[in-house]
A and B are shown apart, each in its own frame.
Chain A
Amino acid sequence: MILLKGLFAKLKAELAFVVLLAVASAGAVLYVRAERAIADRDAVLHRAELICKSAGIDFLSKRPRVADGVDCGTRVQQLAEWKGEAERQTAQLMAQALADNAARQARDNDAARRAAEAAKSAALAMEKADAEAERRNLVDREWFAAVNHVAGLRAPH
């Protein structure tokens, strides 16, 4: 008890110094925080300038009554829209091209199948007609017609 009383008495005597000490330490804390805030602000500003430069627009506004970064933000937004639109159109063209190719393939598969069937039946008829010609040692209208059929030709009028 006596010890505490002694301490209070001493503090009372040095009150001015104690208050100065408290104010000084608060000021030091504020100073450090302000320094850090300034450093952070500079870093963010620098980064913003770099970002805007890569978009082709200065971060600092050159127009009166227009805040810094507004034009840059507009341009970035335009670029994003441009990219989206380009991707949309590209995807559309790709889908169209794929569908077109699939349709071509399907059509060609049909044509190939029909051609193969026609060639097969023509070859069979040709074989028969040629065997007949071989047997008779004579080629006639049937043999010529089979040759025309194999070649996909019609007889002249």
Chain B
Amino acid sequence: MSPGCAPRTDPPAPLPAPIAVPVTITPPADLLRCADRPAGLPEDPALVAQIPTRARAGIIRLARAFGANADQLDRLVEFVSPGACHPTPSASSPKD
């Protein structure tokens, strides 16, 4: 050791206590919005219409895809932040 070094007179300082920190993935808040479920088609007994078969099939496809996507999004949001959405809005929808 060089003579310039002042001799240590204290015992070695205690080590800082280890702190284990969990790493969590936090998506941006706008990715965690629950599925948007606007009002659907009017269910009015007076409302009857003629819709060609192919157009009806298209409407049904859209509705089915909308429902599946919304359910999946809600499940994903629920998985990341539990309790954020109602898990099955089709069964217990908050808005009507």
Contact = CB atoms under 8 A, between A and B. Distances in A.
A89 B56 CA distance: 60
Main secondary structure of the interface of A (DSSP, over half): helix
B63 A151 contact: yes
Interface in B2-19: 7-12, 14-15, 17-19
**Residue among B7, B12, B14, B53 with most chain A CB within 10 A:** B12
B71 A152 contact: yes
B9 to A, nearest CB: 6
B70 to A, nearest CB: 6
B96 interface: yes
Contact of A118 (B40, B42, B88): B88
5 contacts: A63-B10, A107-B78, A107-B87, A119-B71, A154-B39
Given A141-B43, A153-B41, A154-B96, 18 more contacts: A57-B12, A74-B11, A82-B15, A82-B17, A114-B88, A115-B90, A133-B56, A139-B48, A139-B51, A139-B56, A140-B45, A147-B59, A150-B60, A151-B40, A152-B66, A153-B67, A154-B93, A155-B40
